[in-house]
Structure 1
Amino acid sequence: MNETNESHLIGYEGQRRDVTNGDDAGKEYTTARMRPAEKYVILVGDGMGDYPLEELGGKTPLEVARTPAMDRLARLGELGRVQTIPINFPPGSDVANLSLMGYNPAEYYTGRGPMEATAMGIKMNPEDVAFRCNLVTLSFREGRVYMKDYSAGHITTEESHAIIHDLAAIIPTRSFALYPGVSYRNLLMWRGGPEGIATVPPHDYTGKDVTESWHVYEEEPLLYNVLTKAIAFLHRHPVNERRRAEGKLPANSLWPWGQGRRPTTPTIYERFGINGAVVAAVDLIKGAGIWAGMEIINVPGATGYIDTNYAGKAAAALNALKEKDLVFLHLEAPDEAGHMGDVREKIRAIERFDKEIVGPVMDELKEFGHSYRVMVVTDHYTPIKLKTHTAEPVPFAIFDSLDPKDNSSAAFNEKTAAMSPIFIKKGHTLLERFIGIEPMT
C-alpha cells in the first residue's frame, strides 16, 4: 500500500474494509468508524458513472467534465468505491438508492412500484401490487413489437395527466387503478395481483425488439386486457393527435414494470436517532425517503429531467439542514442523459451538478457553525454506449470537516476511485460508516 493510499486510513481504525478487486482481492483491512458529526449531506448524481469513450479520448464523461468541487472533496476527503447493487439484483436506481439510504435490498426491496406509490400518497393493502407504469411509444411491425421510446418523447406532465385521467375511466376499477405521476412516470395498482410477472424496464430497450417482453403480459389476461384497451384508446386521444401534428412522438401504450408489494421498514430515527429530509424530483426516491421516515422537500422547477432546478435543490437542502441532521439530495439529470445516449448532455449535467449543487453546498456549510460531513456518490453507472444501468461498484467521496485529508492526486471519477484501496462490499453499510453511529436496533 503506497503512501497516497495510506492517507485514506488516517483516524479510521476499527471498521472492517473488504477489498475484492485487483491485487488485494480476498484481503481484509480495518479502518476506523468515523466519529459522529452534527450535520450530514449526501449528494447523489444519478447514473454519473460510465465507461471510457473513444470520442472522449478514452476517458469517461466524469473524467472529462469540469468538476472542481467534487475533485476538491475527493482531495480533502476519503475516496473509494461502493457496491450499491447486490448480486442478482437489477441495477436500478430503486435498489441502489435503498442501499445508499442504509437499507439492505435483500431485506427491503420488493420492486420500484411500491416506492413510487408511497411517494404519491397511495394506500396499499398487503395484497396489493404496485407497478411503475410508463407512457411509451411502441412500434408494431410485421408481427413484432419495438420500443421506439421509453418516455413517449419525454411527454410533459400536463399532457401525461390529461391522458391518465381519461384512460383511468376505462380501467376495470375493481381490479385496477391508474394514477398520474411526473411526465411519463405513472402508477398502476393491481388489487390482489401477482408479484412474479417477468416485466422489464422499458429504458433498457430503447430502439429494440420487445416482442417477447410484450408476450409476458399476454400470460396475464386481466392485465393484457387493460393494455390492449389502452392502445386503442390512446391512438385517438387528443393529446396524441396534437403531438403527431407537432412532429412529436405519441404516447401510444402503457408499459407496466417494477412491481411489488409494500415492505415494512424502520425509520432512520428508529435506527440511528437522527432525523432527515430528502430533496428529489422522482417518486421512487421520495418513496424510499418516506419509508425512511424523512421529510420530503419539493422544489419548484425540479423536473426529474435534464432541465431541472439545480440551484433550487441546493438551496432547499441547505435550508432543510438548519433543522435536520441529514439531507439526502438526488439529481436525476446525468441518468436521463445516459439513457438518451447523449454524451455532451451527460457532461453538461455532471458539470451543473458540480457547479450548482456540490460547490454551493460545500461553501455554505462552512458558515453553519457545526461540524459536518458531505458525501458525493453516484448510485450506478448509466453508460452512454448501453443507454441502461449496470451494476459495477461506483465511486464515492466523503469529506469530514473535523478530519480533512491531503490526497493531492485524487479526483472524483471512476479511474481514481478504482485506485483507492477502500471498497465497501455491502452498499447498505456505507451510511453507517458515513454517519459514524451504531444502529440502535
Structure 2
Amino acid sequence: MLPVDQYGKRRKFLLILGDGMADEPLRELGGLTPLEYAKTPNMDAIAREGRMGSLRTVPHGYEPGSDVANLSVIGYDPVNCYTGRGPLEAASMGVTLAPDDIAYRCNLVTIQDGIMEDFSAGHISSEEGRALFEALADALPEIDLYPGVSYRNLLIAHRSEGATTVPPHDIVGEDVASSLPKGPDAELLRRCMEVSREIFAGHPVNQKRLERGLRPATSIWPWSGGKTPSLLPFYMKFGLKGGIISAVDLLFGIARLAEMEVIRVPGATGFLDTDYEAKIRYALDALKSLDFVYVHVEAPDEAGHLGSIEEKVRAIERLDEVIGIALDEFDGTIALLPDHPTPIHLRTHTADPVPFAILGKGKDRTERYSEREAKKGSLGLMRGPDLLPLLFSRKTLEEDSDWLRF
C-alpha cells in the first residue's frame, strides 16, 4: 500500500545527500569537525525538529566507495548486488555490456616521477578529456573507451575476467608502483596505461594546460571493474516513483538500473562550483510528479579529496543555504545525510557510520546536525539499506522501536 497521510493524500519524500560531508575533529578547527564548525542553521533545524541517528552505509569488508555507499542509501544492499563502479557508470552512459565484458571506471590522472600527484588531472574539463580519449582510442582498438564528465571516464575490456585495482584517490602523494592492476586483466590494463602515457605526453591538450600552469593528464587509471548488476526496479521495491539529481555518472547509472528518473540539472558540475540552488529547485519541481527525489551533491567530497578545510566548510555552508529553500517550500518528509566520511587529513573515504536526520518522523532531543550529535539520536545505529524503509514507513515514533539496530 502506498504511503499516505491521515487525509489520504500521497506523501512526498526528499533526500539530500552531501557526498563525503562527514569528517573527523580537526585541530585547525579547535577540535571540531567541518560540520560542527560550519554555520548550518537549516541543517540544525532538521535535526532539532526531527530525529537523528548514525548510518553504516558501507558493509564490513567492502571498500568505502561512493558506489557502495550510495547503493546502500538508496536501499540496495551491496552484499547482494554490488559488482563494481564501472558497470554503474556504463549504465549511465547507455553502454550495454556483453556477458563477458568488464567495465572499469577510468580516471585521467597526473603521475609525476612515479607519484600520484592528482587523481583528477587538475579537474580537467570534459572537452579536454574527450580529445585525449579520442587520440587514445585509435591506439587501443582492442578496448572501448567512453569519455564522461571531467576526469571520470569508462574503459570496457572484452572477453575479460577482471582485475584487482586501487582507486587513484586512495593513493594521492604515494608511489603508484605497488598499486598497479593485478590479476587476469592486469597485463591489458597496464599496457593501456603505458600507451596513454606515450599518447598524452605530446598531446596539444596537455601542452596548452602546461602553458596555463595547469596539471596535465599524464595517464589513464582504470579501477573498480565489474559486470552489470541486477537491481529490482525502485517502484517494485518501494511502491514509489523515484528520481535522482546528480552531476556524476555513478548516480545516474544506479538510477537507470533501478528504473528511477534521471533528472539532469543545468549548472550541476560535480565540483565546488556546482549550482546548489538549481538542484533544489529541480528537485521540488520533480516532486510534483514523483514521490521521492534523491539529491546528490558532490562538492564536500571533492573538498575532502583536495584536503581543503576552507573549501569543505564552504561547500557545507552553501548546501545549507539551499536546504532553507526546501524547508520553506516543501511540506513532505526530508532526510539529510552524507554517503560516507571523506576526512580532510586522509583525503579519501572511510567506512565510519555517518550522521543522518529525518524531518517528518517525530522529534527527539538532538539540537544540531553533526557527527557527535547523531550518536545521541533516538534512531540509533542503523544499516544503510534500512534507511528508506524507515523513511517511507507510516510507523509512529513509538512503533519505530521495532527497527533494526546494531
> TM-score if structure 1 supplies the norm length?
0.85
Aligned to 1:361: 326
- Residue 148 to residue 324, structure 1, CA distance change in 2 (3 Å): same
Residue 182 (structure 1) aligned to one of 149, 155, 162? 149
Residue 121 (structure 2) aligned to one of 131, 138, 152? 152
Residue 237 (structure 2) aligned to one of 271, 281, 294? 271
Q: Mapping of 1:234-245 within 5 angstroms?
A: 234-245=200-211
Q: Mapping of 1:229-308 within 5 angstroms?
A: 229-308=195-274
Query: By how many angstroms is 1:214 displaced?
Result: 2.3
- Residue 260 to residue 437, structure 1, CA distance change in 2 (3 Å): farther
Q: Does 1:342 align with 2:308?
A: yes
Aligned to 2:404: none
Gaps in structure 2 of 5+ consecutive residues: 396-406
Secondary structure, in 3 states, of the residue corresponding to 1:216?
A: coil
Contact 1:113 1:258 in 2 (8 A): yes
Residue 109 (structure 2) aligned to one of 122, 136, 141? 136
Q: Does 1:425 align with 2:398?
A: no
- Residue 387 to residue 272, structure 1, CA distance change in 2 (3 Å): same
Gaps in structure 1 of 5+ consecutive residues: 1-33, 367-371
Number of residue pairs matched?
389
Secondary structure, in 3 states, of the residue corresponding to 1:430?
A: helix
Aligned to 1:405: 363
How far, CA to CA, are the matches of 1:221 and 1:53 in structure 2? 42
Contact 1:217 1:224 in 2 (8 A): no
1:292-322 per-residue CA deviation (whole Å, 9 max, x = no partner) reads 2111111111110001011110111001000
Q: Aligned residues: percent identity? A: 47
Q: Does 1:389 align with 2:349?
A: yes
Contact 1:424 1:430 in 2 (8 A): no
Contact 2:107 2:119 in 1 (8 A): yes
Contact 2:164 2:181 in 1 (8 A): no
- Residue 406 to residue 79, structure 1, CA distance change in 2 (3 Å): closer
How far, CA to CA, are the matches of 2:77 and 2:364 in structure 1? 32
Query: By how many angstroms is 1:391 displaced?
Result: 0.5
Aligned to 1:191: 158
How far, CA to CA, are the matches of 1:90 and 1:269 in structure 2? 28
Contact 1:337 1:346 in 2 (8 A): yes
**Greater CA deviation, 83-92 or 207-216?**
207-216
Opposite residue 430 of structure 1, the aligned amino acid is L
How far, CA to CA, are the matches of 1:316 and 1:215 in structure 2? 40
- Residue 239 to residue 77, structure 1, CA distance change in 2 (3 Å): same
Contact 1:157 1:181 in 2 (8 A): yes
Residue 169 (structure 1) aligned to one of 138, 144, 148? 138
Query: By how many angstroms is 1:437 displaced?
Result: 6.9
1:172-199 per-residue CA deviation (whole Å, 9 max, x = no partner) reads 2xx410000000000001112122x220
Secondary structure, in 3 states, of the residue corresponding to 2:139?
A: coil
How far, CA to CA, are the matches of 1:326 and 1:437 in structure 2? 15
Opposite residue 397 of structure 1, the aligned amino acid is A
Residue 104 (structure 1) aligned to one of 69, 77, 101? 77
Aligned to 2:400: none
Aligned to 1:212: 178
Aligned to 2:393: 436
Query: By how many angstroms is 1:221 displaced?
Result: 2.4
How far, CA to CA, are the matches of 2:370 and 2:206 in structure 1? 42
How far, CA to CA, are the matches of 2:252 and 2:73 in structure 1? 13
> TM-score if structure 2 supplies the norm length?
0.92
Contact 2:160 2:185 in 1 (8 A): no
1:242-261 per-residue CA deviation (whole Å, 9 max, x = no partner) reads 11111111101000001110
Query: By how many angstroms is 1:424 displaced?
Result: 3.9
Secondary structure, in 3 states, of the residue corresponding to 1:425?
A: strand
Opposite residue 351 of structure 2, the aligned amino acid is A
How far, CA to CA, are the matches of 1:256 and 1:129 in structure 2? 11
How far, CA to CA, are the matches of 1:359 and 1:209 in structure 2? 44
How far, CA to CA, are the matches of 2:193 and 2:140 in structure 1? 9
1:117-147 per-residue CA deviation (whole Å, 9 max, x = no partner) reads 101111112221100000001123xxxx210
Q: Does 1:69 align with 2:27?
A: no
- Residue 373 to residue 56, structure 1, CA distance change in 2 (3 Å): same
Secondary structure, in 3 states, of the residue corresponding to 2:91?
A: helix
Opposite residue 160 of structure 1, the aligned amino acid is G
